[in-house]
Amino acid sequence: MAELLVQAVISGVLLGILYGLIGMGMNIIYGVMRVVNFAHGEFMMLAAYLSFWASHAHGINPIQSLLLTVPLFFGVGFVLYYLLVPRLLQAEDPEMASFLTFVGISLVLTTLILLVWGADPRSVPFPFKRVSVSWGGFFFPLGRLISAGFCAAVILLLILFLYRTYLGRAIRAIIQNREAVAILGIDPHRLSALSMGIGLLLVGLAGSLVVLSFPAITPVMGASYTLVAFVVIVLGGLGNPLGALVGGLVFGLAENLGAVFFPAALAPVIAFLILIIMIFWRPQGILGRP
């Protein structure tokens, strides 16, 4: 039983790092603009399908496809900000306007994927000879291990960017007080566009790597990942990018440890119960401020 628990913890940590990266993109967008990207999971799903297309059409593995998805999604985020967000923030009810807009985008992306790739599940050929590696009597799925390694490296770079660079400090400042940043002479629109680009860059990277962690992708998987991102940022703390990593680890561990004691279909329920308890006990999240 102890070995099974340790194996579940290993799997939960590897998956939780990926969840943390997914939530971190949404958290940056929300923290800077107070706009919730309800199409977050659909953008991730689109990146996964682009990796599938690159693999089958050109023989490019998911790691190499990052050279396509990362700059593409950064550019999409940058353009999407100037097309939509300033108008949404000027609406009488910005939250409802952003909700309707991004739900519409999610429906458009889902329909587009259905038209191009159909409704059947798709899979990307595993690019490595070994499926797993063993150490100390425990098994590490190679796909999840590589995916978690890339995600951890990106999260580390993002933390260094946010805490060690001028632009990163400006993003943290605008999260705390948008009006004060404008008074100091920093253009909030350029900074918000950069944040939107970073948010979609992260979710595009996660989408390219998710095909290494899960055997199949489907046109309806986007909504579930949007929900995961919501849970992760609420657990970790709304508006706190680093909190998304903590929330992702909590969610991944709860999901995998729950599968040890309960049927697999009930495992996600444990994570949502933890979310409900967190809302009552500490509504601002683990790293959030009251």
Q: What is the pLDDT of residues 14-25, one digit of tens each?
A: 889 999 999 998
Question: Would you place residue 136 in the very low, low, confident or very high pLDDT band (cuts 50, 70, 90)?
Answer: low
**What's the total number of domains in the chain?**
1
- What angle, 0 to 180 degrees and rounded to 10, lies between the N-to-C axes of helices 40-58 and 221-236? 130
Residue 93 gets the label, from left (phi > 0), alpha (psi -120 to 50) or beta, of beta
Asked if residue 264 belongs to a domain, the reply is yes
Long-range contacts made by residues 57-65, C-beta under 8 angstroms, separation at least 24? 61/124, 61/127, 62/124, 62/127, 62/208, 62/209, 62/211, 62/212, 63/127, 63/146, 63/150, 63/208, 65/208
Asked if residue 124 belongs to a domain, the reply is no
Question: Would you place residue 130 in the very low, low, confident or very high pLDDT band (cuts 50, 70, 90)?
Answer: low
Asked if residue 131 belongs to a domain, the reply is no
- Provide, rounded to the nearest whole percent, the portion of the chain with pLDDT above 90: 31
Q: What is the CATH number of the domain that holds 97?
A: 1.10.3470
Report the pLDDT value the prediction gives residue 242, as an integer from 0 to 100.
80
Asked if residue 287 belongs to a domain, the reply is no
Question: Would you place residue 113 in the very low, low, confident or very high pLDDT band (cuts 50, 70, 90)?
Answer: very high
For the beta carbon of residue 94, count every other beta carbon within 10 angstroms.
Answer: 16
Report the pLDDT value the prediction gives residue 178, as an integer from 0 to 100.
77
Report the pLDDT value the prediction gives residue 98, as an integer from 0 to 100.
86
- Are 18 and 154 a contacting pair, CB within 8 Å? no
The tens digit of pLDDT for each residue in 49-78 reads: 999 999 888 888 888 889 989 999 999 999
pLDDT at residue 26 is higher than 70: yes
Residue range 104-132: mean pLDDT, rounded: 86
Report the pLDDT value the prediction gives residue 194, as an integer from 0 to 100.
92
Q: How far apart are CA 52 and CA 113, in angstroms?
A: 12
Lowest mean pLDDT among 186-190, 265-269, 282-286: 265-269
* Higher pLDDT pick, 279 / 131: 279
Q: Which domain holds residue 193?
A: 2-119+146-281
Residue range 194-217: mean pLDDT, rounded: 90
Asked if residue 42 belongs to a domain, the reply is yes
pLDDT at residue 1 is higher than 70: no
Asked if residue 290 belongs to a domain, the reply is no
Structure-token pair, residue 156: 């580390």
Asked if residue 35 belongs to a domain, the reply is yes
Q: How far apart are CA 247 and CA 24, in angstroms?
A: 10
Report the pLDDT value the prediction gives residue 262, as an integer from 0 to 100.
72
Asked if residue 226 belongs to a domain, the reply is yes
